[in-house]
A and B are shown apart, each in its own frame.
Chain A
Amino acid sequence: MHELAVTESILQIAEKHALEAHAKKVTDITLVIGNLSSIVDDSVVFYWEMISKGTICEEAVIHFNRTPAIMLCLACGQTFEIPGELVPCPHCGSYQLNIQSGEEFFLESIEIER
């Protein structure tokens, strides 16, 4: 449900940077989102179509650059990817884990026409 608030933030950030770059329109927006972030891509796109209407970003396509959730096993030292839900190390079964990545949540870039 918090995708609306997230989508509004995406629009604000994109508009701000488009304005600074004197853009006529924004064609693409690239987000980097770790798989540990609980965001539903389809839901963002759904809200995007509603709230971007009439803005400089109206025709922009949102790209979701999803980064994997990587865990380090403290027992055997191997790293592995998890689906977003915590699972034990597939190599040794240990739950002594450390999160290495998957929490990224930022707007990376926009493509503009001047």
Chain B
Amino acid sequence: MTSLLSSPGAPIFEGEATAISVRGLTKRYGKQLACNSVDLEIRVGKTFGLLGPNGAGKSSLIRMLMGLIPKDAGDVSILDCKELYASELRQKIGYVPELHYIYRWMTIQQVLRFVSPLYEHWDTDLADSLVDKFQLPRSKRVSALSKGMTAKLGLLIALAHHPQLLILDEPTSGLDPVIREDFLESVLQSHARSDRTILFSSHHVDDVERVSDEVGIMVQGRLVVRGSVDELRGRIKRIRVVLQDGRLPNRVPSSTLHQKLARREWTLTVDHFSVDLLRQIEVDNDPVSAEVFDLNLEEIFKDVVRGLDARTESAP
């Protein structure tokens, strides 16, 4: 299991090539902390899903990785390159932002003619096949395209130069379900054909769950939990404890992500669940009953977000 609390500087994945390595990455906008000392490593060939509510700091993190905004602190290495503005690095990355600002006065054909010479490994055949697959009208101006069409054009530009790393920042946001489905299908197909690394950020849990080998949940600028979907389901559980009349919960486990008390019913969502932890709760609280429930990724996501929000609100 991957620990977020691994010692700074030590590689999380010993002996494996990493596509993205981030240590203590911090970004502030005035007093607002957008990224709070984020540590993240993504192995080559893996798809990492970055989940988080709006304003969690996902886009800030990605924009720093892309070298679009300066970081305040921390180290970033992408494909063994620390100079994030380097042209050589940009040649290896495909980036799809949430909002596309492709030249609106250009036609699709003009966009492709403009972008293709900028990439050393631009694959005209692949670009043409994606134009056909996405049914993009070459003669139409970008300003006349629907949001879904523009997103597909953005994905085409990101894929057609065979990037080693594909960074998708909320790419399906605002798209209708059919286009979203097409879009994700294309991402999955592109991944299947290569050992490309993908960083996929979204607040759509089902999208992330579908495409990702590994998931990280980011809340309030911090990467709170990470692991494979199965791993998270295995280690994060909900425990429903019915307390005896007149009693309050005693000793909340330190790995509690979220808790809720409604009359005698105390519900906890805990990380690193074990039978020992359950026994400890029973010993500490002498409950009437204690049941353990499995959670799906969406429930885990919601409880992590609510838990951190509640802790922030109750903090002095």
Same complex:
no
